[in-house]
Chains A and B, each alone.
Chain A
Amino acid sequence: MSGPSSPILAIRTSPHLVRGSRVDWIMLQVLIALSPALVFAACAFGAAAMLVIGVSVIACLAMEALWSGSSGRTLRDGSALVTAVLYALTLPPGLPLWMVAVGGVVSIWLGKAIFGGLGCNPFNPALVGRAFLQAAFPSAMTNWLPSFSVGRFSSVPESTLALPFLRPVYDARTSATPLAAWKFDAETTDSMDLLLGLTSGSLGETSSALLLLGGLYLIARNVMSWRVPVSIGISVALVSGLLRWADPQSYASPVFMLFSGGLMLGSLFMATDLVGSPMTSRGCWLYGALIGVLVVSIRAFGGMPEGVMYAILLANATTPLIDQWIRPRPFGAPGGARA
């Protein structure tokens, strides 16, 4: 992961960075931070998870290589690898591998390449890929394998190996995610199970504790703005707490809201995307608060059990507006001068 300092740094003027870090160094840190969650996913879902991760990496890197052409510069900086891993972590473990490949291609191509490559993508590429799959194959994207099932290393679920463009066949071993169980059956899940990841769900959303660990590492390394995840957390806790207080029967507790679903993965690793988040501190607070409100609203009032993906994509879309609106006061300018 070493190479000559690339001119790409010149356009990455994100103020989260207090020192000049190279893209490949940042991406390496993100990969290190994600590794515990990756290992856990492989343990919890076995061979299916490993295949999903492998295919996603191959598809994303192949697309990136195709795009970057002969130079291969953007391939070596590791950003496509990070996108591939993040994208794989948002997928349900039994997803057919051909769908994984389709989404990976969409991530890099529609999420990043057509906007001009790394640094120009308004949306988080991994989430673009997942959003495409969610809309294209809604039933496959809401079929969840139970975690820690017997024989998960020795056998691969039938659905994973579905032939390209054919409908996957699911065996009976599917189960509901904690959020779906709560939304459709009003069943709550034990908070400890949520923290440790003993539930079903997508590859990377089950173990909140390991994700939190990775996030803390990134914050300690100063790679990531701590304001975004903190403001998302506060806003989710506040809004869901308010709803819970108003009507404890129909709304879940803030603890459940915080530790279930893709919130940890999304708020720590996707909302903090250097390109898609605002540049100023105040902007980050506003952006995080917006995501939190959207997440709780979609989960509580929407048709779907989970809304982190759409919340982040919508907030990504508001980032240019936030940056336009909240501008740092030029040094020495008269007080309160706003553009």
Chain B
Amino acid sequence: MTEPMATSATAVVKTWQMYRAMVGLGVLCGSLIVTSFLVTRATIAENRRRALDLAVRTVIPGADRIQVFVASSDGGIARGTEDNPGEERVYAAYAADGELLGVAIQGRGLGYQDLISVLYSYDRERQAVTGFAVLDSRETPGLGDRIATDPSFQENFIALDVTLDESGSELLHPIVAVRSGEKQSAWEIDGITGATISSVAVASILRESAARWIPKLNDHWESMRQGG
């Protein structure tokens, strides 16, 4: 066999042999990783962009071009990129003729099992959330995951009221979840029987995210319209 170390001779393996093996292997492996990163980078970015496009188009049908915006440090919004993963982003969707159709907002929060990540659209003219999609969730199959599939739950987001109050800094009615079949006002979310926790989680994700983003989007709507 090729084992370099005999049972009795302790000094056979020189230190530099170990260094040679580790450093040499490290360099080789490092370059292999970098190579595969460079090879796949473009495809992965393209996949991400396509997945995002698809998600934005499901909440804002008819979107032709999508522009990323992030919250800027002075409290306003600025054009952003996909690069910084920790940053909260919104996606302005424009029609083919350049008209601003709506803004898709990404929200995250804790569900029953793990983080739920959702995308919803804001229509300023109607002052309402007009589309909703679950991007990622690990909710219980058959129960909690109905937040993504249940048709009657999706009906909540045909026109979920997010009117701002007079000052324009807060929602007039915070979004709340109610029991299944008891929705009375346009700002209430009709829950799912058997998935109470997941539907309440969706409501609180929307409530928090909307309270943060919608006043800001409202203030800067014009600049986004032109930024298209």
Q: Which chain B residues lie closer than 8 Å to A331 at the CB level?
A: none
Q: Are A184 and B194 in contact (CB under 8 A)?
A: no
Q: Which chain A residues lie closer than 8 Å to B221 at the CB level?
A: none
Q: Are A184 and B143 in contact (CB under 8 A)?
A: no
Q: Which chain B residues lie closer than 8 Å to A303 at the CB level?
A: 112, 197
Q: Are B142 and A184 in contact (CB under 8 A)?
A: no
On whether A139 and B143 interact (CB within 8 A), knowing A184-B179, A185-B179, A303-B112, the answer reads yes
Closest chain B residue to A170 by CB distance?
A: B193
On whether A139 and B196 interact (CB within 8 A), knowing A184-B179, A185-B179, A303-B112, the answer reads no
B204 to chain A, nearest CB (A): 15
Residue-wise interface mask of B (176-205) relative to A, using a CB-CB cutoff of 8 A (1 in contact, 0 not)? 000100000000000001101100000000
Q: Is B152's CB within 8 Å of the partner chain A?
A: no
Bound: A138/B195 CA distance, A:
10
Within 8 A of B (CB), among A73-88: none
Q: Is A267's CB within 8 Å of the partner chain B?
A: no
B218 to chain A, nearest CB (A): 34
Residue-wise interface mask of A (216-244) relative to B, using a CB-CB cutoff of 8 A (1 in contact, 0 not)? 00000000000000000000000000000
Q: Are B142 and A138 in contact (CB under 8 A)?
A: yes
Closest chain A residue to B194 by CB distance?
A: A139
Residue-wise interface mask of A (108-143) relative to B, using a CB-CB cutoff of 8 A (1 in contact, 0 not)? 000000000000000000000000000000110010
Query: Which of the residues B112, B142, B179 comes within 8 Å of A139, measured between beta carbons?
Result: B142
Q: Is B31's CB within 8 Å of the partner chain A?
A: no
Q: Are B196 and A138 in contact (CB under 8 A)?
A: no
Q: Which chain A residues lie closer than 8 Å to B112 at the CB level?
A: 303
Bound: A184/B177 CA distance, A:
11
Bound: A55/B56 CA distance, A:
51
Within 8 A of A (CB), among B204-227: none
Q: Which chain A residues lie closer than 8 Å to B197 at the CB level?
A: 303
Q: Is B35's CB within 8 Å of the partner chain A?
A: no
Bound: A290/B142 CA distance, A:
32
Bound: A34/B37 CA distance, A:
68
Q: Is B149's CB within 8 Å of the partner chain A?
A: no
Within 8 A of A (CB), among B159-180: 179
Closest chain A residue to B146 by CB distance?
A: A139
Residue-wise interface mask of B (82-120) relative to A, using a CB-CB cutoff of 8 A (1 in contact, 0 not)? 000000000000000000000000000000100000000
Q: Are A138 and B179 in contact (CB under 8 A)?
A: no
Q: Are A142 and B196 in contact (CB under 8 A)?
A: no
Bound: A254/B34 CA distance, A:
63
Q: Which chain B residues lie closer than 8 Å to A185 at the CB level?
A: 179
Q: Is B47's CB within 8 Å of the partner chain A?
A: no
Q: Which chain A residues lie closer than 8 Å to B194 at the CB level?
A: 138-139, 142
Bound: A184/B140 CA distance, A:
19
Closest chain B residue to A304 by CB distance?
A: B197
Bound: A138/B194 CA distance, A:
8
Q: Which 7 A-B pairs have the closest CB atoms?
A: A139-B194, A138-B143, A303-B197, A184-B196, A142-B194, A303-B112, A139-B143
- Taking beta carbons and an 8 Å cutoff, which residues of B are in contact with A? 112, 140, 142-143, 179, 193-194, 196-197
- Taking beta carbons and an 8 Å cutoff, which residues of A are in contact with B? 138-139, 142, 184-185, 303
Can you list 7 contacts pairing A with B, beta carbon distance less than 8 Å?
A138-B140, A138-B142, A138-B194, A139-B194, A184-B196, A303-B112, A303-B197
Beyond the given A138-B194, A139-B194, please list 9 additional residue pairs across the A-B interface where CB-CB is below 8 A: A138-B140, A138-B142, A139-B142, A139-B143, A139-B193, A184-B179, A184-B196, A185-B179, A303-B112
